[in-house]
Amino acid sequence: MSVVDVSNVSADFFIFAVVFILLVFGLLSFGILKMFQQRYRAGWMSFGGAVASSILFVIMLNIWYI
């Protein structure tokens, strides 16, 4: 295992990725919480939001950074 050099990662890309990671996993955990509370509609809406956010992340990543 070696040290990874992250000096080539720009600050705007890092912030972009962190915001979307927090959004997607936040929505997933909120959906799981709502499922345990037996509020299935709100849970499925959160899962749908996580999927939509993931798709939007990939589209924006392809447009801006690739």
Instruction: Please report the pLDDT score of residue 55 as a whole number.
Output: 97
How far, in Å, CA of 56 to CA of 28, rounded? Answer: 15
Read off the pLDDT of residues 7-49 as tens digits, 9 standing for 90 and up.
888 999 999 999 999 999 999 999 999 999 999 999 999 999 9
Domain-embedded: residue 10? no
Instruction: Please report the pLDDT score of residue 2 as a whole number.
Output: 86
**How many distinct structural domains can be found in the chain?**
1
Q: What is the span of the domain harbouring residue 37?
A: 15-64
Helix, coil or strand: residue 35:
helix
Domain-embedded: residue 6? no
Domain-embedded: residue 21? yes
Q: Is the pLDDT of residue 3 over 80?
A: yes
Domain-embedded: residue 58? yes
Token pair of 48, please? 């749908």
